[in-house]
Amino acid sequence: MKEQATFGAGCFWGVQAAFDELDGVLETQVGYLGGHLPNPTYEQVCQGDTGHAEVVQVTYDPHRISYQALLDKFWELHDPTQKNRQGPDIGSQYRSVIFTHNETQRTQAEASRSKLQASGRFERPIVTEIVPASTFYPAEDYHQHYLKKKGLGSCHLPS
């Protein structure tokens, strides 16, 4: 059995590398989601006017890893209180967003966000969007598993 989850948490290179490390994640693919331009290119998305976010689409086995565990990793990877920014990357394409693939994911994502906000971990409000997934456009091949190909650690992610 396979399911999909899709997350935007800044530059997709480091986010992909982090999800790749989780047992139960079968495959990850970086790409673009949430905008109005069909088949966008990296250059177009970087202009910031396509509406797309850089995302990682995660294919996972729900018998080996739960959607909640994926959400927990997502919250660890970035600062969800920063609007349209993570680390040195600025623009709506770097927004904090969870794209849900069904009602159960939406409910779990909203509950997870509310619980994290109430925890007091962050002084500022969480700005993470939770929206239904639309058409996912895979990024160009050179972006797929970029950090692994280049032998690099991470980008904006905390160590």
Predicted local confidence at residue 159, as pLDDT: 42
**Model pTM score:** 0.93
Answer yes or no: 46 catalytic: no
pLDDT band at 88 (very low <50, low <70, confident <90, very high): confident
pLDDT band at 152 (very low <50, low <70, confident <90, very high): low
Predicted local confidence at residue 149, as pLDDT: 77
The CATH architecture that domain 3-150 belongs to is 2-Layer Sandwich (3.30)
Condensed to tens digits (0 to 9), the pLDDT of residues 38-84 reads: 999 999 999 989 999 999 999 999 999 999 999 999 999 999 999 99
Q: State residue 58 phi and psi, 5-degree precision.
A: -110, 125
Question: Of residues 5, 6, 8, 11, which has the active-site annotation?
Answer: 11
- pLDDT above 70 (res 90): yes
Predicted local confidence at residue 71, as pLDDT: 98
